[in-house]
Structure 1
Amino acid sequence: MPQRKPEVTQRTAAGIPYELTRKKVKRLNLHIRRDGTVAVSIPWSYTVGFADAFVTEQAQWIREAVSRQLRRNARNDQPLPSQAEALACFTAMSDKVYPAFAGVLGGQKPTIRVRAMTSRWGVCYMKRRQITFSLQLYNMPPAAQIYVVVHEYCHFLQPNHSPAFWAEVEKLLPDWKERRALLK
């Protein structure tokens, strides 16, 4: 039996324009694309009205997700600093946080590095006493930057993301959840 070609239409529901694709899928799929456009795909057996109803029901979440994606795009459009400039910035932040961890680090500051990373803001290499920060972190708000610095330092106390780890983060940054939200 020949397979049907996907059917693509432009729709609007609850004031949200979206691209609807009817094709061979098992269930409704919603996707916010990198450019902030909304795409919905549905199985052939679903009605177009079902997709419109879903978009209407999820309208608030969709608007927020589109807004987050557009903010992310705006940040990504900002030019990145030189590695030397970012290293100087993160070293200065590290120097402010270090005294709270001097005891556990035996009075020896960790090595600070910077490199382009796509899926992490920072990495702590405990055995090497090294923290590497994402070059892209430089374009984030200072409150978010300090959160990442404290987060990575706390790994010298707790190597995982256990409740004990988050308790350590909270001791230094009671508002860490709000700061972390700035990174999303």
Structure 2
Amino acid sequence: MSIEKKVIQCKKYPITYTLVIKQVKNINMRISPKGEVVVSANPFIPMEKIDDFVSSKISWIIEHQKSVMEQNAKTMISDTHILLFGNDLKIKKSKGKYNHVSYDNQYLYVQMKEGSDIDKVIRQFLDKLCKDVYTDVAMMTHKSLHDYQLPFPQIKIRDMKSRWGSCTPAKNSITLNKKLIHYPFEFIEYVVLHEFVHFIQPNHSKAFYHIIENYMPDYKERMKLVG
């Protein structure tokens, strides 16, 4: 049995899937609990046929990935816990004169003034954290790619149902998923680099991944952090 990551271009955006080669009769597909597309096929089926099969299931993939990500979002934040940068933190509440949120490697400390909505306080904290962290990573990534003389893009942040990020060269902008903040920092760095490289290579060719690997040799391991 062999396992490899593959990326194919489907309609407007790429689909990443894990291909498992083993002795099965048909091409099978499933969505993992973390939203990853997993395809299994026997070694005698041509790669082109497998890619075509995945492409033909794009609507099914999007629908089921949305469902999985929505379900995962419910487990990322609860009344007592939050997943932040891949770490499961306990939420510790206290009363104070003003709203303030901080964290360490064990707790998310939420100080609230009387009458405050804790969900809103945490959400505002996460929005600011996303903006600060994503912008910092984007600035570091931009600096590392200085040989390409890319203009610094506008960084947009929003909830995305089935994608971690997107790049719009015509508007010189990169959009990143708010949910990334719940995953390991190394994965955030990978997603940001991935979108930056689209300013250099618009598709997912070998040249695209050659640039990725040149600046992030362990990118395949980082991709697995959510798989």
TM over 0.5: yes
Instruction: Return the TM-score normalized by structure 1.
Output: 0.57
1:100-125 Cα shifts (integer Å, max 9, x gaps): 3344345x311101000011101011
1:82 aligns with 2:133: no
Shift of 1:126: 1.1
Q: Whole-Å Cα distance in 2 between the matches of residues 33 and 97 of structure 1?
A: 30
The one-letter code sitting in structure 2 at the alignment partner of 1:98 is H
1:116 aligns with 2:159: yes
Shift of 1:84: 2.8
Residue from 187, 201, 222 that aligns with 1:158: 201
Matches within 5 A, 1:1-184: 76-79=74-77, 82-106=126-150, 108-184=151-227
Q: Whole-Å Cα distance in 2 between the matches of residues 30 and 153 of structure 1?
A: 30
The answer to whether the 8 A contact 1:121-1:134 is kept is yes
Structure 1: which 4+ aligned runs deviate by more than 4 Å?
29-34, 72-76
Q: What is the Cα-based RMSD across aligned positions, in Å?
A: 3.1
Which ranges in structure 2 are unaligned for 5 or more consecutive residues?
1-25, 34-67, 78-122
Which ranges in structure 1 are unaligned for 5 or more consecutive residues?
1-26, 35-69
Q: Whole-Å Cα distance in 2 between the matches of residues 75 and 175 of structure 1?
A: 27
Q: Whole-Å Cα distance in 2 between the matches of residues 137 and 179 of structure 1?
A: 13
- Secondary structure at the counterpart of residue 82 of structure 1: helix
Cα 1:83/1:167, change in 2 over 3 Å: same
Q: Whole-Å Cα distance in 1 between the matches of residues 199 and 29 of structure 2?
A: 40
The answer to whether the 8 A contact 1:104-1:156 is kept is no
82-91 or 97-106: which moved more?
97-106
% same residue? 31
Q: Which structure's residues are more often strand, by fraction?
A: 2
Shift of 1:73: 6.0
Cα 1:163/1:30, change in 2 over 3 Å: closer
- Secondary structure at the counterpart of residue 226 of structure 2: coil
Q: Whole-Å Cα distance in 2 between the matches of residues 148 and 30 of structure 1?
A: 24
Q: Whole-Å Cα distance in 1 between the matches of residues 31 and 167 of structure 2?
A: 32
